[in-house]
């Protein structure tokens, strides 16, 4: 069975094509600048790479362009588009729907109800899903990021707000990055040789979150009602006191919508540093004496450590801490800073192993009571597996 996994942005479409018989990735590609006259469509199929520039007005046309590359007579991964059994989407927020579903009108309506909570994610997904439903006669499946966190105990997912609001508007700590944390739960169990391990998954990238995992299930996470919360993101503010909003509005003259848009695009590491939301830029500037960039790095690390400590208490100890995503996989200094001075808790870093680490590997010292790992995430294969499971149920 061949499954195409889609990861969408407002003007982008990224995909991977999997043969689910052995979970091989047959091809990967992307379309950038959707809606412009010179959209770029790239693909990698085996040793062959292709790049085309064309006008791609919407996501439906983007899929058609990608299928044209996938069915290239000489280099393609498949002979015809009908070989694809389904398209799986790494969807973000379904509110009242949190799971894996065939896409129908009710799924689209549920996503639309959460547009205000996920304005950067849900609208482009809804538009793309509608376009693809109209163009392609094959199953479309939405695997919501919130699904993995449904096992979090009630006391850790409720806000202290009136029950009427919470129940009627589906306001709770939903959690996100579910596909990534689910992959880490599965892979760490394989590496540790046990399914009952207490694991803290640190997904650190342009968007970051931590999740505490016990018996393969999520029991605590840092993101809440929306992907805007939790750790400071590259340009999203993270946790923030909502009662500061009236002061900002009063003193700046911005509307509520303008204020929220400003905090969602100019906050986070970018806002703290006044320079960049990219860790690499911040580190270079901090080395040259930029105190704001150093502060941004320090705040990021301290917030990770604050949540790490809470999760260690919630788990009653920790067997492994896993770092993943762009920063977690590639930045040894962040990993070292997060784990610094925790020897009394049984967390000891092998400094040399951490500095020289590439790909999937451990970096704990021989006397460390907690294993420390870098595991490259694979959100797409999780969505592909969930898509197959839905197809097999029907």
Residue 313 CB partners (closer than 8 Å, separation 6+): none
Q: Cα separation of 122 and 10, whole Å?
A: 9
Q: Cα separation of 343 and 367, whole Å?
A: 10
Sheet holding 140-143, edge to edge: 48-54, 39-45, 24-32, 12-19, 2-9, 84-89, 140-143, 100-102
> 236 a known binding residue?
no
> 206 a known binding residue?
no
Residue 380 CB partners (closer than 8 Å, separation 6+): 5, 7, 16, 18, 25, 90, 179
User: What is the end-to-end Cα distance of the chain in Å, rounded?
Assistant: 15
> 14 a known binding residue?
yes
- Strand 39-45 with 48-54, pairing: antiparallel
Sheet holding 209-214, edge to edge: 217-221, 209-214, 198-203, 320-324, 371-374, 361-362
> 7 a known binding residue?
yes
> 278 a known binding residue?
yes
Q: Cα separation of 256 and 145, whole Å?
A: 27
> 326 a known binding residue?
yes
> 367 a known binding residue?
no
> 341 a known binding residue?
no
Residues facing 43 on adjacent strands: 29, 50
> 328 a known binding residue?
yes
Q: Cα separation of 174 and 147, whole Å?
A: 9
Residue 146 CB partners (closer than 8 Å, separation 6+): 92, 93, 94, 98, 174, 175, 176, 178
> 298 a known binding residue?
no
Q: Are 259 and 265 in contact (CB under 8 A)?
A: no
> 32 a known binding residue?
no
Residue 133 CB partners (closer than 8 Å, separation 6+): 103, 140
- Among the listed residues 220, 202, 216, 205, the one whose alpha carbon sits nearest the alpha carbon of residue 322: 202
Positions at the binding site: 7, 14, 278-280, 326-330, 379
Positions at the binding site for Mg(2+): 7, 379
Positions at the binding site for ATP: 14, 278-280, 326-330
């Amino acid at each position: 069975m061949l499954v195409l996994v889609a990861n969408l942005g407002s003007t982008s479409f990224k995909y991977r094509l999997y043969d689910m018989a052995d979970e091989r990735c047959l091809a990967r590609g992307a379309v950038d600048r959707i809606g412009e006259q010179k959209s770029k469509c790239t693909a990698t199929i085996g040793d062959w790479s292709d790049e085309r520039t064309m006008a791609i007005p919407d996501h439906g046309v983007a899929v058609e362009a990608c299928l044209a590359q996938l069915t290239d007579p000489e280099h393609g991964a498949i002979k015809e588009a009908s070989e694809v059994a389904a398209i799986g989407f790494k969807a973000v927020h379904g509110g009242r729907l949190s799971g894996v579903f065939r896409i129908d009108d009710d799924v689209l309506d549920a996503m639309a109800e959460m547009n205000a909570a996920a304005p950067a994610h849900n609208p482009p997904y809804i538009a793309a899903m509608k376009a693809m439903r109209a163009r392609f006669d094959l199953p479309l499946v939405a695997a919501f990021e919130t699904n993995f966190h449904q096992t979090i105990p009630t006391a850790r997912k409720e806000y202290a707000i009136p029950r009427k609001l919470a129940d009627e508007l589906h306001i709770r700590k939903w959690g996100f990055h579910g596909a990534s944390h689910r992959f880490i739960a599965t892979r760490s169990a394989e590496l540790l040789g046990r399914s009952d391990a207490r694991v803290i998954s640190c997904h650190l990238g342009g968007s970051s979150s931590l999740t505490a995992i016990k018996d393969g299930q999520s029991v605590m996470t840092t993101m809440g009602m929306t992907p805007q919360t939790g750790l400071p993101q590259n340009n999203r503010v993270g946790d923030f006191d909502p009662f500061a909003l009236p002061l900002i509005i009063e003193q700046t003259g911005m509307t509520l919508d303008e204020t929220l848009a400003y905090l969602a695009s100019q906050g986070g590491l970018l806002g703290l540093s006044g320079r960049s939301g990219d860790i690499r830029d911040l580190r270079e500037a901090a080395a040259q004496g930029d105190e704001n960039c150093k502060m941004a790095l320090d705040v990021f690390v301290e917030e990770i450590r604050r949540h790490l400590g809470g999760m260690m208490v919630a788990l009653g100890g920790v067997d492994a801490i896993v770092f993943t995503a762009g920063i977690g996989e590639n930045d040894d200094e962040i990993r070292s800073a997060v784990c610094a001075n925790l020897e009394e808790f049984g967390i000891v870093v092998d400094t040399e192993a951490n500095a020289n680490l590439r790909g999937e590997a451990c970096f704990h010292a021989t006397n460390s009571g907690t294993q420390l790992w870098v595991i490259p995430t694979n959100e797409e294969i999780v969505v592909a597996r969930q898509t197959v499971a839905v197809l097999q149920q029907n």
